[in-house]
Structure 1
Amino acid sequence: MDDNQTLPLILAGPILRRVTADSVTVWLATSQRRDFTLRIYDTADEQVGSSVMQDSVSQQRDTWAGSLQSHASLGINLHVTLIEARPDRVGDPFQQDTLLRYNLFDDQDNPLPEIADVCLDGEPLPGFYIPQHLQMFAYGSCRKPHGPSFDDQEKTQHHDSLALLADHLSDNVQYLANRPSHLFLVGDQIYADEVPETVMDSLKKIAVTLVGNDIALPCGATLSTMDSAQRTALKAACGLTSDSPDMHLMSFGEFAAMYLLVMGNRIGFSIPEKTAPSPAMDSLRDFLASQAQVRKTLANIPTYMMFDDHDVTDDWNINRSWYNQVHSSVSGSRIVSNALAAFWAFQSWGNEPAQCNQEFIDTLQNHLIVPSNSEYAKHYDFTLRKFHQWSFVLPTTPPIFVLDCRTQRDFGSFNSPPKLLDRYALDSLHQAWFKLSPEQKQDTVAPIFITGTPVFGFSVIEGLQQSAYRLGFLLGMAKGILAPSRLDVESWIANRQGFSMFLNAIMYRMGYKKATFIAGDVHYSFANHATYTSQLAPGNVQTLECLQLTSSALRNTPEAGRALETFLANDITKVRRGHSKPETLAWWYRVFFWRFLRKDVWKIKVVGIPGKSTQARPDPQFQKWWEPWVAKTLQKLWQWLEKKDGQSRTDPHTYWITCRPNVGLVYLEQGNVVKQVLLSGDDRQAHLTYNVPQH
């Protein structure tokens, strides 16, 4: 947006959010508060649902709960609206497994012209479908606008991966068997702590325009006038540990402006002409050029979103020491509150709208509209810091549990790796399970759990992280290069008790015998099969068959690139065992010699699943004298492993892990995942397919 350019009415959206057989929700961000009407149509163009209740059935709507249109006024020029449509015929839900379309109308009953902008190729309106049984969904994470984006052959992917999904949806408008019914964005939808100065200069201006106030932090810092050096100093003073040389979002308006940029860029942000060329700016230009397609993606598939650390700040809640350090600073705490308020408005609200009541919305509105009121500010900070209802469940078949693994941690000691879900979070998970239908709770069902970081990752990298952490602890380098925040020591297995508590809750409390885990975060993609065996008491041994799928990143290829595929290839079976602390064992274990020897009460066996790529691995380019020797040694190792278990490792089209930017497509048959396909490449030519063995 140029300095003299006015804001458009539609700042972002429409984005299709929570959809069930009884309800369809659409999200919009606007520069003026407006009322809209949402109407749902079948393929014969007959209206089958609306957000406006017909007078003739007004007395029959026993399930009607409050208004079907909710507003949150978060700035003078920023209004977020959720519009819900219900079926026209009471007791007759929306038809499943068939294409439905929708349209939006203003208060004069005129169709919104912006709808034409989000229609798939050849379609008159945006559309979606509601599956009776889950057949296919899409997911991804880690979408950095200026991040590097190249495939395993180090060829640049110009298109945003979410734009690739729009092309896939267009190709499969009517072919629902190959059209994903849901999209899950599982973390790092923005990089709040890595904003180039060129981008930040524009975001600061947009932020003030949106909110209408240049809201200072409690320390008195006026963010719109601070330069890069001042903001870096303020970041350190607030206890934030991100070591990125780029700038950090801090005000609510800045977070909001960034969301508007990445959610389709209707505000018209562009890179200033005098900006010096660089790989980051080239990548950003490609990203911006893809946003018209991204708008189509988000309008044509029900989209659900969960945060990870970069949506707030790097290392967010990594351990107790970090939490205490940041929240001991009033300004540090306010930055986290601003990030969470923006996350709620732009990501969370549409996941499960009923989780946030009007009191919650009023708390945010009061502070942002009247920032000078200190009581409003205190209530804002407290409410957001203590809000723990970000997780949600979709009652699909199989059910999908989307988990907040950031705000419900059990930290333990100051710098030790935390349990990613504390006992209260596990109780909430169990409570959500109770609300499912009997069909969804059967032990033969394989529920899907969406977590920020993989539950079953690679023992190589996780082991190195933990070893480095222990070394740093022994050397007293808690604030140095081996600090937990530098090493990202927050994998599930880093706290073995928390790891086993989570899996035991699924197996013993919820009664499932198999489960699928979906994750992102790590900037490489893979598939693992795991067997988890646990013994809570003598004779009570149970096994959970697990599948781990990971798609990352949508747009942020790690600098190591292809080297990760060789170094981390999960081509050898891993077995891990876990000890339980004496107080968690039955009394007869505690009083006998197990108290001193400790007993293995669980173990896991993890086996990688190979993927077949449409692109062959490139021939290695040796630059150092020792690289040919390493390559030859690995080749002999792979040949030996092929003879041992028969799985192909020397085939140049076989990948165990990939760093190519992608969006993941997951296929199911009869409730079980059978395949993962990673869409990649500007022409979607770089597919990588993981066929999942059925156990």
Structure 2
Amino acid sequence: MPDLLVGPLLRYVDEAGASIWVETSEPCEVTVEVGGLRAAERTFTVHGHHYAIVDVEATGPYTVELDGRAVWPLDGFPPSRICPVEELGRVVFGSCRTSVPHDDEHVRTHGVDILHAYGRRLMEGEDLPSLMIFLGDQVYADEPSQQMLDFIRSRRQDGPDEIVGFEEYAELYRQAWTDPVVRWVLSTVPTAMIFDDHDVRDDWNTSETWRRQMAEVPWWPARVISALGAYWVYQHLGNLSPSERKADPVYAAIRAGGDADGGAMLDAFAERADQDPASTRWSYSRDIGRTRLVMLDTRSARKLDRGDRRMLDEDEWSWFDELATGGVDHLLIGSSVPVFLPSGIFDVESWNEAVADGAWGPRASRVAEKIRQALDLEHWGAFRKSFEEFGRVLVDVAAGRRGRAPATIVLMSGDVHYSYLAAAGPVSADLDSARIYQAVCSPIRNPLSRTLRLANVIGSFGVASLAGVLLVRTAKLPRRRFRWKITNGPWFPNALASLELDGRSAVVRWHTARPDFEELTRISLTS
């Protein structure tokens, strides 16, 4: 008799229906019923695990059955429901969530899980958001919890105390998504996701040198193949619309095998995606009413050639360039790593890239590469050509040179373990009336220690500001073509942000839990 292991997750939702993802204990038929309408899908199998995505053209409360047996909703929880999404109203976003218990010991070390706190708030009757966006590090494959370490050590005695194979990734996702409150949230609020480095490994694709070094690690090939395969199953498939998913050749081939295990096909796909990033696209976009959402892959799609590093390779850049237009009320861009960092850190990253590329000679280049990896100098400032191209596009869109100017262009990011708002524009811009904003929300649950918080404030907002200016001059880097300033923050607690859209108006808020869910700040982005 099949059981529901993970899910249901409410993923893609539009004005008429939704896609619901599940993992089950054995092959079965998964049925979703909404208001008398029933939609069913047979599970597919990879590496001994069984999954289905059911597309249903209806909205309202729903139930889930496995081979005709009701398994959802859970007793004691409100019904899960599909709410039609015709316009984006409230968009909740954040990144960096570790999956540890909610007891006093872990609250002391990891803080209150803001996603769990928000879920309880929603269960008490707060209006549901239109969409929840997870901007990376949904799981930590390189920093497993004690519960995850226990699972790893029960299976093998060799290899690293990190995730290696698909079976371990499956357990990692199970632990991340099956807390009852979090599980209910994910069953009720539509989600969009993109990876960052810890979904695979810290500093993933920071440089070509990093890739060469990792290729020499015996367990790395299995790790990266399992990471991308698991990401495809647990996160990527649900990002796609039903028509996009049906056009996915890997999905079609695995489903065509019936109950046969498609693990080998998935591994071949994942290996090809790692070795040839242009062979697949993890980025995606959606037009929802008068808002366009573009979610960028800023990890796998990097070009790492010395002297010509790009955050987005040529194919990925062309794809984004076509989508970066006006004619919408709001243009939302998800980039797991922030575009506009504190200016001092940005300058240090740009200097480091130039030196690593040979500006100070071969010996300094090798030292710069070590610094790049040690200090995580891998954001947009460390890919200066891409940053300049990206900035020019944003300025053109904001100025109305690519169609009617949006009221706001909001870049949503995480990664850095603190939250802030920055305003940006061309050099001549009045940033008090900006259209371009960087909203960073991190972490959901993985706070920095007090010592590291102080170090970040001093390093990012103090010493780096002076050092960055001096270093940029020594590397003879060109002046920036636009400017930005951090207008609010930084804030270091676990947090979720919400972007509230109403016509051409936009308000952004940050929320934390100490321990109750509360608002940190509220900022209007439009006059």
Which bracket does the TM-score occupy, shorter chain normalised? 0.7 to 0.9
* Aligned-residue offset at 1:127: 2.0
Q: Could you tell me which residue of structure 2 aligns to residue 107 of structure 1?
A: 67
Letter in 1 for 2:70: P
2:435 to 545, 549, 555: 545
* Aligned-residue offset at 1:295: 1.0
Q: Does 1:189 align with 2:147?
A: no
Letter in 1 for 2:454: A
Q: Could you tell me which residue of structure 2 aligns to residue 74 of structure 1?
A: 46
Q: Could you tell me which residue of structure 2 aligns to residue 287 of structure 1?
A: none
Structure 1 pair 562–104 and aligned structure 2 pair: CA distance change class (3 A): same
* Aligned-residue offset at 1:191: 1.0
Q: Could you tell me which residue of structure 2 aligns to residue 38 of structure 1?
A: 32
Q: 2:350, 2:384 within 8 Å by CA — same for their partners in 1? A: no
1:402 to 260, 285, 295: 295
Query: Deviations 1:77-114 (Å, cap 9, x if unpaired)?
Result: x1011011014xxxxxx6xxxxx321123333x432x4
Q: Could you tell me which residue of structure 2 aligns to residue 424 of structure 1?
A: 315
Query: Deviations 1:387-434 (Å, cap 9, x if unpaired)?
Result: 432111122131111111112112230xx693211221122224556x
Q: 1:37, 1:50 within 8 Å by CA — same for their partners in 2? A: yes
Query: Deviations 1:521-579 (Å, cap 9, x if unpaired)?
Result: 00000111111369xxxxxxxx98311111100111113354267537869xx9x99xx
Q: 1:40, 1:102 within 8 Å by CA — same for their partners in 2? A: yes
Residues in 2 aligned to 1:463 and 1:308: alpha-carbon distance in whole angstroms: 22
Structure 1 pair 564–516 and aligned structure 2 pair: CA distance change class (3 A): farther
Q: Could you tell me which residue of structure 2 aligns to residue 669 of structure 1?
A: 502
CA RMSD of aligned residues (A): 3.8
Q: Does 1:515 align with 2:409?
A: yes
Q: Could you tell me which residue of structure 2 aligns to residue 526 of structure 1?
A: 420
* Aligned-residue offset at 1:180: 1.3
* Aligned-residue offset at 1:385: 4.0
Please give the secondary structure, in 2, of the residue aligned with 1:349: helix
Letter in 1 for 2:486: G
* Aligned-residue offset at 1:165: 1.6
Amino-acid identity (%):
22
Residues in 1 aligned to 2:248 and 2:205: alpha-carbon distance in whole angstroms: 28
- Give matches, 1:191-590, under 5 Å: 191-196=140-145, 199-203=148-152, 205=154, 224-227=155-158, 231-232=159-160, 247-264=161-178, 291-327=179-215, 332-353=220-241, 354-356=243-245, 357=247, 359-361=249-251, 369=261, 381-383=271-273, 385-386=275-276, 387-396=279-288, 397-413=290-306, 418-432=309-323, 442-443=326-327, 445-466=329-350, 476=364, 478=366, 482-506=370-394, 507=396, 510-511=402-403, 512=405, 514-532=408-426, 545-559=435-449, 560-563=451-454, 566-567=457-458
Q: Does 1:684 align with 2:508?
A: no
Letter in 2 for 1:394: R
- Unpaired runs of at least 5, structure 1: 1-6, 42-46, 53-68, 88-93, 95-99, 206-223, 233-246, 265-290, 434-440, 535-542, 578-596, 611-655
Q: 1:118, 1:126 within 8 Å by CA — same for their partners in 2? A: no
Structure 1 pair 493–149 and aligned structure 2 pair: CA distance change class (3 A): farther
Q: 2:88, 2:131 within 8 Å by CA — same for their partners in 1? A: no
- Unpaired runs of at least 5, structure 2: 470-475
Please give the secondary structure, in 2, of the residue aligned with 1:111: strand
Query: Deviations 1:43-76 (Å, cap 9, x if unpaired)?
Result: xxxx4x5426xxxxxxxxxxxxxxxx36330133
Q: 2:143, 2:162 within 8 Å by CA — same for their partners in 1? A: yes
1:608 to 486, 497, 503: 486
Please give the secondary structure, in 1, of the residue aligned with 2:173: helix
* Aligned-residue offset at 1:204: 5.5
Aligned residues: 494
Q: 2:30, 2:42 within 8 Å by CA — same for their partners in 1? A: no
Query: Deviations 1:285-337 (Å, cap 9, x if unpaired)?
Result: xxxxxx22111111110011110011011111111222344457785333211
Q: In terms of mean alpha carbon deviation, does 510-519 or 460-469 score higher? A: 460-469
Please give the secondary structure, in 1, of the residue aligned with 2:204: coil
- Give matches, 1:91-106, under 5 Å: 100-106=60-66
1:170 to 96, 100, 123: 123
Q: Does 1:83 align with 2:57?
A: no
Structure 1 pair 131–359 and aligned structure 2 pair: CA distance change class (3 A): closer
- The structure with the largest strand share of the pair is 2
Letter in 2 for 1:111: A
Letter in 2 for 1:608: I
Structure 1 pair 480–465 and aligned structure 2 pair: CA distance change class (3 A): closer
TM-score scaled by length of structure 2? 0.82
Please give the secondary structure, in 2, of the residue aligned with 1:39: strand
Letter in 2 for 1:556: N
Q: In terms of mean alpha carbon deviation, does 544-553 or 441-450 score higher? A: 441-450
Please give the secondary structure, in 2, of the residue aligned with 1:21: coil
TM-score scaled by length of structure 1? 0.63
Residues in 1 aligned to 2:509 and 2:516: alpha-carbon distance in whole angstroms: 19
Q: In terms of mean alpha carbon deviation, does 314-323 or 303-312 score higher? A: 314-323
Structure number, greater radius of gyration: 1
Residues in 1 aligned to 2:18 and 2:125: alpha-carbon distance in whole angstroms: 21
2:15 to 3, 17, 21: 21
Please give the secondary structure, in 1, of the residue aligned with 2:74: helix
Structure 1 pair 50–171 and aligned structure 2 pair: CA distance change class (3 A): same
Structure 1 pair 672–493 and aligned structure 2 pair: CA distance change class (3 A): farther
